[in-house]
Amino acid sequence: MYSYLLFDADGTLFDFKKSEASAFSRTFRLYGMSSPSDEVYARYHSINQSLWDALDRGEVTKDYLTIERFRRLFTEFDIGAPAESFNRDYLRLLGEGDFLLDGAHGFIHALRAARPDAYMAIITNGVAATQLSRFRRSSIRDCFDSIFISEEIGATKPDVRYFNGVLAGIPGYCEAYRRETVVIGDSPAADILGANNARLASVWYNPEHRENRTAAVPTYTASSYAEIERIINA
């Protein structure tokens, strides 16, 4: 039975796609534009994902990423909005998106009730101010002991320095507890590879049955919250 449960946020518990779409549209309207077309949003998503992938590989910084995604998009579609201030307002509105994935609320509350002595934490690569705002607004905030954000630690998943920073931040944690620690996340490239790098067990949350095209090797794979619960309580 695992006693230290490290949950990824977006795509694992939080519905980031819903939060992202809402904030994106609201920011366009804030700047006096109509809601963006499906083509514009799809292109933004492609640019954004490529930059986050580059961040995972250590090729760009988060500060560069958050502004560059809009700079590229606005250049490509000849949109006359300032990328830096647009990004600032987008992140503020994104911070209001505390939407959870279906079943996440019940799963986390049931797990907390069943495992009151377990240490439960959120681990995320998101922007600190945005992630803290979303977390504090969420209905699962009281179930977690901590939230560890890469921006505050100074390294991002899957870098082992990020995970070392997380473990160092857990009160009373020692090397012997590593075998009682498990990472639960939806991203092989960030969560599972990071767990591999840190010599931690992992659960790849994969409800869509995606193919793992990375070098990451999950200890377990789960397609539902019920499966995750069985694995971490076994």
- Same domain membership, residue 138 and residue 193: yes
Over the Cα atoms of the chain, what is R_g?
18
Size of the chain, expressed as the number of residues it contains = 234
The CATH number of the domain holding residue 67 is: 1.10.150.240
Q: Are residues 217 and 132 in the same domain?
A: yes
Burial 106-145 (b: 16+ CB within 10 A, else e): ebbeebbeebeebbbbbbbbbbeebbbbbbeebebeebbe
Is 8 labeled as catalytic in the residue annotation? Answer: yes
The vertex-112 CA angle with 106 and 116, nearest 5°, equals: 160
* Domain shared by 69 and 80, yes or no: yes
Name the active-site residue from 8, 10, 159, 186.
8
Residue that is last in its domain, among 94, 111, 140:
94
The residue among 71, 94, 117 that closes a domain is 94
State the residue range of the domain holding 25. Answer: 16-94
Kindly give the confidence (pLDDT) of every residue in the chain, 234 residues in length, as a single tens digit, with 9 standing for 90 and above.
Answer: 899 999 999 999 999 999 999 999 999 999 999 999 999 999 999 999 999 889 878 899 888 999 999 999 999 999 999 999 999 999 999 999 999 999 999 999 999 999 999 999 999 988 899 999 999 999 999 999 999 999 899 998 999 999 999 999 999 999 999 999 999 999 999 999 999 999 999 999 999 999 999 999 999 999 999 999 999 998
- Summarize pLDDT for 71-107 with one digit per residue, the tens: 999 999 999 999 999 999 999 999 999 999 999 999 9
Answer yes or no: do 53 and 141 share one domain. Answer: no
* Other Cβ atoms closer than 10 A to 16: 19
